[in-house]
Amino acid sequence: MDNSKQSFKPYIPADKVVPEFTATSIILGIILAVVFGAANAYLGLRVGMTVSASIPAAVISMGVIRVILRKNSILENNMVQTIGSAGESLAAGAIFTLPALFMWAAEDSSVATPSFLMITCVSVCGGLLGTLFMIPLRTALIVEEHGVLPFPEGTACAEVLLAGEEGGDKSKLVFSGLGIAAIYKFIADGICLFPSEVDWSIKKYPGSGIGMDVLPALVGVGYICGARVASYMLGGAVLGWFVIMPMLVLVGGDAVMYPATEPFNTLDTWTLWGSFVRYIGAGAVAAGGILSLIKSLPLIISTFAKAMKGFGKTGGVSRTEKTISLPLAMIGAVIIALLLWIIPSVPVSLLAAVIIVIFGFFFATVSARMVGLVGSSNNPVSGMAIATLLISTVILKATGNTGMAGMTTAICIGTVICIVAAMAGDTSQDLKTGYIVGATPFNQQVGELIGAVAAGLAIAGVLYLLNAAWGYGSSQIPAPQATLMKMVVEGVMGGNLPWGLVFTGVFIAIAVEIIGIPVLPFAIGLYLPIHLSTPIMVGGLIRLWIDKRKFASEDRRKEVADNGVLFSSGMIAGEGLVGILLALFAVFGIDMSLNGKLGNWGGVAFFIVLVAIMLWFMFGNKQKK
């Protein structure tokens, strides 16, 4: 670990100063933070998932700064993506929880619609806390574990920036992957020639099912993460979809169990997963997070100790190690928590503010480590929000904060924690990118704070606009995550939450930890649909095959493996860019759908062609000596 840290040299050396924190990068970054935040808010409310904006922001930045403005600075491009990606992360945290408040207001005329000021304050405070909580964790997760935690999107974003800087074969590979993935994504989710999510139920084994999101970014994430992490995720998914769900149907028979409203033997796979396995997965993620934090405590404590030794000292720190000071970050976090308590329009008590600080730092740590393992796209932020809502609602109920007032406070706590987790994950990926390219951490942290404020100011308007247009819970914007959060809070306050399912997940996580399997990727696989784990596993298997295959020389093996990382980085970028474009199309009502005419097998065929193209580029791009 230490050796890899000492031997690592960033692209821009510490003793070299190039344009980075400029007016151009700040203005362009703020614009992208607002645009990506709005687009991802709609996308998440429509389908329950968001797309990572780091790589799309980097690509757009290169297009504007290098092509239009005729400037050449990799660190300026990196600053744009740092600020711009904050919008996507903050939007993800906000939309998974805040629409529950709008739904309560729609159901009961005596309940007021959440105020514009309340949404803005909660969003901005959550974004700022998420960035500040990552400051003491940078050394532990980014520097000390360089070469251990892959940070797939952060590494991919660095490769995109480096490819744009260096040009040549590297650039061709990245942008070939980007172009192919963009066309593929548009065919799959733009004109919908085939379904991007293929799905089958197994009739001979009731309750089980298998499927795959046949999309390029997931294969790219799997290749960058490798077979080991991918196999842990798939193991959790197999437990959920081939053990727990069939067992529920077998044992449950014609019985009905909350939260489902129909007998077990009539439920399809998605209802079984959403009604039961998701709660089990949420318990496993919460337990896995606690176990991960316990194991990380020595490293976190030593990091804090090192930071405190440098209290008040500014000299002797190289440019690439300069960060916002720990004392300043701690003071900032306390002030923000007090503001949440003091501002009249925000229904957060002093107890709630304390809960936010404690859970915020805990889930910031967990989130940053998780995205280091499996990437931002697979970071179960909503799972962490569920765990927060479960515990905070229990505490509020026990202290007499019940009814609609207590539920509103719980949602506000959950919103801040959800945004903290999303922002911490995004910040860690951005800091990883900066570590590779040689950015100044202090500038990046300030950029994240700017992006959080810009996106936080915009998100309230977006939420009001979408609610006015369609209303949350409608077929146009079903807001699946927020509906689940609403159900969790109502379940705890009403005393009918399926705690048995949650604790089942907790003890599954403990059993997995005892066996010696890394519990977080396994728990993530259990919580997410198997359709996400299968394409990630395909990417992992390709990487495993490259690592085990016989080559003419070790240099050729490394060349092919590196080609795969570059092409995978391009695929992640291409899908992300088109994902944002399609979200904007949806906002403006542009519909080109062919309703998946080719069906599931058409999706599988296109996916096989995609993998074949990926292999062709990996093996066919021999470097000229």
**pLDDT tens digits, 547-599:** 888 887 888 888 888 788 878 877 877 776 777 677 667 767 777 778 777 88
Using the predicted structure, report yes or no on whether residue 170 has a pLDDT greater than 90. no
Indicate left, alpha or beta for 46 from its phi (over 0: left) and psi (-120 to 50: alpha): alpha
Using the predicted structure, report yes or no on whether residue 475 has a pLDDT greater than 70. no
Does residue 517 lie in a domain region? yes
Does residue 226 lie in a domain region? yes
Polymer length of the chain: 625
The domain of 108 spans 2-11+18-620
What is the residue type of 509?
A
Whether 102 contacts 439, CB under 8 Å: no
Cα separation, 420 vs 93, whole angstroms: 8
Q: 625: Cβ–Cβ under 8 A, 6 or more apart, which residues?
A: none
Q: What local confidence, expressed as pLDDT, does residue 509 receive? A: 93
Q: 362: Cβ–Cβ under 8 A, 6 or more apart, which residues?
A: 289, 290, 293
Does residue 245 lie in a domain region? yes
CB atoms within 10 A of CB 484: 22
Using the predicted structure, report yes or no on whether residue 340 has a pLDDT greater than 60. yes
Average pLDDT over residues 481-488: 81
Q: 624: Cβ–Cβ under 8 A, 6 or more apart, which residues?
A: 169
Among 290-304, 451-465, 541-555, 580-594, the least confident range: 290-304
Average pLDDT over residues 209-221: 88
Under the banding of pLDDT at 50, 70 and 90, the label for residue 178 is confident
Does residue 244 lie in a domain region? yes
Q: What local confidence, expressed as pLDDT, does residue 3 receive? A: 44
Please state, for a pLDDT cut of 70, what percent of the chain lies above it: 89
Give the total number of structural domains in the chain: 1
Cα separation, 407 vs 490, whole angstroms: 7
Average pLDDT over residues 292-315: 59
Using the predicted structure, report yes or no on whether residue 155 has a pLDDT greater than 60. yes
Does residue 390 lie in a domain region? yes
Q: Tell me if residue 146 falls in helix, strand or coil.
A: strand
Does residue 414 lie in a domain region? yes
Q: What local confidence, expressed as pLDDT, does residue 293 receive? A: 66
Using the predicted structure, report yes or no on whether residue 291 has a pLDDT greater than 90. no
- Please, what sign has the CA dihedral across residues 195, 211, 572, 385? positive
Average pLDDT over residues 183-212: 89
Cα separation, 487 vs 481, whole angstroms: 10
Hey, what are 208's tokens? 């089980």
Cα separation, 43 vs 47, whole angstroms: 6
Under the banding of pLDDT at 50, 70 and 90, the label for residue 63 is confident
Please state, for a pLDDT cut of 90, what percent of the chain lies above it: 33
- Please, what sign has the CA dihedral across residues 499, 512, 381, 179? negative
Chain position carrying tokens 């031997």: 7
What is the residue type of 581?
L
Average pLDDT over residues 24-50: 80
* Residue-averaged pLDDT of the chain: 84
Q: What local confidence, expressed as pLDDT, does residue 315 receive? A: 43
Among 168-182, 308-322, 346-360, the least confident range: 308-322
Q: What local confidence, expressed as pLDDT, does residue 528 receive? A: 82
Q: What local confidence, expressed as pLDDT, does residue 195 receive? A: 87
Nearest to 582 by CA among 236, 190, 289, 287: 190
Q: What local confidence, expressed as pLDDT, does residue 49 receive? A: 57
Does residue 117 lie in a domain region? yes
Does residue 625 lie in a domain region? no
Distances in whole angstroms, Cα of residue 241 to Cα of each of 257, 269, 272, 533, 538: 18, 8, 9, 12, 18
